[in-house]
Structure 1
Amino acid sequence: MNHTCPICHTPLPAAPRYPRYICNTCAARATSSDGRQLGFSNVDMSGGYEAYYTDTGAPYDSHDCWIDGIACHADEARFGGIVIECCKQPPAGYWDNRQ
């Protein structure tokens, strides 16, 4: 089964646990609702989830993020790391004006 990033359509390995996961390139563009760049990481070697504003390092107390205006959700992946998934597919016509 193939998977493509729901935002940029880059081919990715299938991950049935995360059917709407996005690629690392798109994940690097994650922002808060007010457009501030976000970073995500595990709390420590045993896992956990933390998000922060990349400009100040201040904590971002949410899992919600936006990539190219598309609502997404970031969380700890099952075996460590962070996974970001689109909350839904991009709207119809999203690809029409993209380059």
Structure 2
Amino acid sequence: MSPFLPGARGTQPCPNCGAQVAQSDRYPEYLCSECEARAVDANGARVTGSNASFGGGFVLHWPNGEHDPLPCISARVWVDGREWDYSEARFGGVLITPARER
């Protein structure tokens, strides 16, 4: 699910592949949906993310059933061998952004 980006005025490049995504002042570096679809956990298992409810929150999912859904603040994922953070977007939806120090 893509983030809700109020006031998007143009496009910006995906920081992983360079594809154009909706411009966001809040998230100047978020992955495009094609890169997001390649996200895996530390063991290489495919993962997806979703909002926990209409009120917010983040849940990490393993669509192949490796683990039960995991409610969390954010999750470290890998796309094309690079580390990223998967989390809830401020106004709804989820996104993957560059990994920050924890």
**Which TM-score applies when normalising by structure 1?**
0.79
Alignment partner of 2:78 out of 66, 69, 80: 66
Is the 1:6–1:21 Cα contact (8 Å) retained in structure 2?
A: yes
- 54-63 or 40-49: which moved more? 54-63
Unaligned stretches of 5+ residues in structure 2: 1-9
**Which TM-score applies when normalising by structure 2?**
0.77
- Relative to its length, the structure with more strand (as a share) is 2
Tell which has more relative contact order, 1 or 2 (C-alpha 8 A, sep 6+): 2
Is 2:96 the counterpart of 1:84?
A: yes
Q: Percent identity?
A: 33
Runs of 4+ aligned structure 1 residues displaced above 3 Å come to: none
Is the 1:70–1:86 Cα contact (8 Å) retained in structure 2?
A: no
Which protein is bigger by CA-based radius of gyration?
1
CA RMSD across the alignment = 1.8
Describe the superposition over 1:13-56 as per-residue Cα deviations: whole angstroms up to 9, x where unpaired. 22111121010111011000110000100111111100021110
**How many residues are treated as equivalent by the alignment?**
88
